[in-house]
Structure 1
Amino acid sequence: MDAPTKPVPVHILCLPESAGSALYGMVDVLAATGVLWQELTGNEPVKATIEPRLVSISKDPFTCGNGIPVTPDCTLTDVPAPEIVIVPELWLSPEDAVADRYEDVKVWLRDSYDKGATVYSACSGSVLLAASGLLDGRKATSHWGYEDLFRSKFPDVRFNAAPALCIGDASGRIVTAGGTTSWHDLAIHIISRHVSPGEALRIAQVYLMKWHNEGQLPYAALVKRLPHADGIVRRAEDWLAKHFRDADPVAGAVSACQIPDRSLKRRFRAATGTTLISYAQNLRVEAAKRQLEESSASVDQIAVDVGYENVAFFRRLFRRSTGLSPSQYRKMFQPLLPMAK
């Protein structure tokens, strides 16, 4: 693919909830295409290939997350038919579905897509896309911390917390990226698609940007304490947190809660969104992850310690839960030892 003859206009949506690191990181990286590598090596003429512009509700300056100042370049009405739109990470709680604000932004996003725009989001930016209706019936991802929000508030979205990048449909005009620094993956994808794969590789090399081909699963917390009002289920969660290594933790939890097996399983799933056995397995895998990060114990030893005599089953479960083998996980997350003096 040849580089475009003139800079590609890219409009990056900025709001008070925007994360400054993702917002300005995206501006810096995209503006460097066709420029930075060439300046460092002197091998090619310098020519910018992407023109990032900040678009917002008005051009009035404001501060976004952590008090970072933002001065928009243009307003939504200035750009009725953008070619490319990016919604970067937003500072949202895991319960915030953006249901009661930014209706004008949602309309602009839908209209832009209907007029032919390619729409991208990074991290929790996909929550705003979902609230606009653009993700209904489409595949999408976001930070793994928003999985429960998508399940409960946006059931029509085909949400998957595993990939770092998710192309929404066959047209490829809606693309969502996963958690926080997966905007790196999104920037590389955008440069590759709208400029050239070669330039995307050069930018990745200049910025030391890593393609997260392992996805998000290795980074995700498998056990989350969701808010609910079922005291019996909370008792089961507390009991499992202490006894997940037991030979039959599900039977133990049922006994500790003193209600029928089927009743507890039904109430547990309704309150937590998962099954008793899955919850216990997730506790075991989380404990194994900590040992892989912090100890030199063998994988076989760790399997037995967290409750699995069948090491082969443990290895399969670990890979299914994290996307990596135990050894790969250790290599990725165990801190480097200090160099000998």
Structure 2
Amino acid sequence: MTKNVHVVIIDYPNALQSAVQGLKELFLIANRIIAESQLDTRFAITVACPEKELGAVEQSDIVILPPNLDGDYYRAPETGLLTFLNNAHQSGAILCSACAGTFILAQTKLLDHRAATTHWQLADKFNKQYPKVSLKIESLLINDGDIISAGGLMSWVDLGLEIVAQFTRPHIMRTLGKYLIVDTGKREQRYYDSFTPKLSHGNQQILQVQHYIQAHYNQALNIAMLAALACMSERTFLRQFTQATTIKPIQYIQRVRVQKACELLESSTQSFEQISLNIGYDDVNSFRKVFSKVIGLSPSAFKARFV
């Protein structure tokens, strides 16, 4: 049975049309490669204008805000679009942005106290308008589980490849890159077997906890506080969380933290000791064991292989 991944591309006023149509065509080409590989996943693409077509969108697994070409709509988007984005996120959709599209995403407040990227020329405007967002302007793409942001004007290509790799197989992305004659060499350094949280399970209380963990992974987290956040007893919370995400809460937290550590090992010069402290582990040796168990490589071996 074919599994459809519903992608909604937001064609907001003055959105870059080469990105809007290019993303649509990228996913259509990916579908052809997926079919040739006899996989059971397909991308179902909808292009929607905020002022008239969002109300007809029935399902979204991925929502994409493309770059901006001209005008200031991206700095003051309409309320209906922001409501749609928040509702989609609460229903488990992954929200994505490229270039100036990150401004619209930030307007939802979902990026507060989280990392994101946008075009380097927009950095000053972004920091002034959204001081609560941790802007990583040096990053081409930041995949933060439930939110993905990409930087430059042509970063929609990188974003599309990231989504294809995440929802299908890495070799599908590489084949797509070869067909498009796009260099995917750098992208192969990413650890595609990394943790991708399951968000479309339909349990709103558990989804709220997942969003909390994603935003507060570097703080002290325990079953009692997470159960209270979900308004459940600890026993009920453990059962429902495991059923929804397929892993236990403590394992989930570990996977989120390990994923963050992988990203920092790849993108920064921080030592593993510094990274451990930054993501919430006081005991470096303890986290080193967790990292090695989850990834199958020691931190030093991971860095030597992928950086």
Q: 1:30 maps to what in 2? A: 27
Greater Rg by CA: 1
- 1:159 is matched with 135
CA RMSD of aligned residues (A): 2.6
**In structure 1, the residue corresponding to 2:48 is in which secondary structure?**
strand
Q: Deviations over 1:81-102 (max 9, x none)?
A: 5211111111256xx5845441
User: Which residue number in structure 2 is paired with residue 176 of structure 1?
Assistant: 149
Residues 123 and 178 of structure 1 are in contact (CA less than 8 Å); yes or no, is this contact kept in structure 2? Answer: yes
Q: Which residue of 2 aligns with 1:282?
A: none
Is the 2:68–2:74 contact (alpha carbons within 8 Å) kept by the matching residues of 1? no
Does 1:7 find its partner at 2:4? yes
Q: Which amino acid aligns with 2:12?
A: L
Residues 37 and 103 (structure 1), Cα distance of their counterparts in 2 relative to 1, 3 Å cut:
closer
1:31 to partner: Cα distance? 1.0
Greater helix fraction, Structure 1 or Structure 2: 2
Give the C-alpha shift of residue 52 in structure 1: 1.4
Q: For the Cα contact (< 8 Å) 2:6–2:59, is it kept in 1?
A: no
| Equivalent of residue 52 in structure 1, options 45, 53, 57 | 45
Structure 1, gaps ≥5 residues long: 60-74, 215-319, 321-341
Pick closer, same or farther for the CA change 1:97–1:29 going to 2, 3 Å: closer
Alignment partner, residue 77 of structure 1 = 55
Identity among equivalent positions (%) equals: 27
Q: Is residue 193 of structure 1 aligned with residue 162 of structure 2?
A: no
Shift of 1:184: 1.3
Q: CA deviation at 1:201?
A: 1.0
Looking at structure 1, the residues matched to 50 and 177 of structure 2 have their Cα atoms a distance apart, in angstroms, of 32
Contact 1:35 1:47 in 2 (8 A): no
1:206 aligns with 2:203: no
The one-letter code sitting in structure 2 at the alignment partner of 1:106 is: L
Residue 37 of structure 1, CA deviation: 8.1
Matches within 5 A, 1:1-341: 5-36=2-33, 44=37, 49-59=42-52, 75-79=53-57, 81-92=59-70, 96=72, 98=74, 100-168=76-144, 172-211=145-184, 213=186
SS of residue matched to 2:3: coil
Contact 2:64/2:96 (<8 A) preserved: yes
Amino acid at match of 1:15: Y
Cα distance between partner residues in 2 of 1:10 and 1:29: 12
Distance across 2 between alignment mates of 1:44 and 1:103: 42
Aligned 8 A contact 2:14 2:68 in 1: yes
The whole-number CA distance in structure 2 between the counterparts of 1:163 and 1:110 is: 25
Q: Report how many residues are paired.
A: 188
Q: Which amino acid aligns with 1:153?
A: Q
Distance 1:29-1:113 versus aligned 2 partners, 3 A rule: same
- CA contact under 8 A between 1:126 and 1:176: conserved in structure 2? yes
CA contact (8 A) 1:10 1:86 kept: yes
Uncovered stretches (5+) of structure 2, i.e. residues with no partner:
188-268, 270-307
Q: Contact conserved, 2:75 with 2:103, CA < 8 A, in 1?
A: no
Instruction: Name the SS for the 1:54 alignment partner.
Output: strand
Mapped partners of 1:97, 1:135: distance in 2: 19
Q: Deviations over 1:156-190 (max 9, x none)?
A: 0000111110123xxx0100001011111111110
Instruction: Note closer, same or farther for the CA distance 1:137–1:97 as it changes in structure 2 (3 Å cut).
Output: farther
Alpha-carbon distance in 2 for matches of 1:211, 1:143: 20
Give the secondary-structure state (helix, strand or coil) at the position aligned to 2:45.
Answer: strand
- C-alpha contact 1:11 1:82 (8 A) present in aligned 2: yes
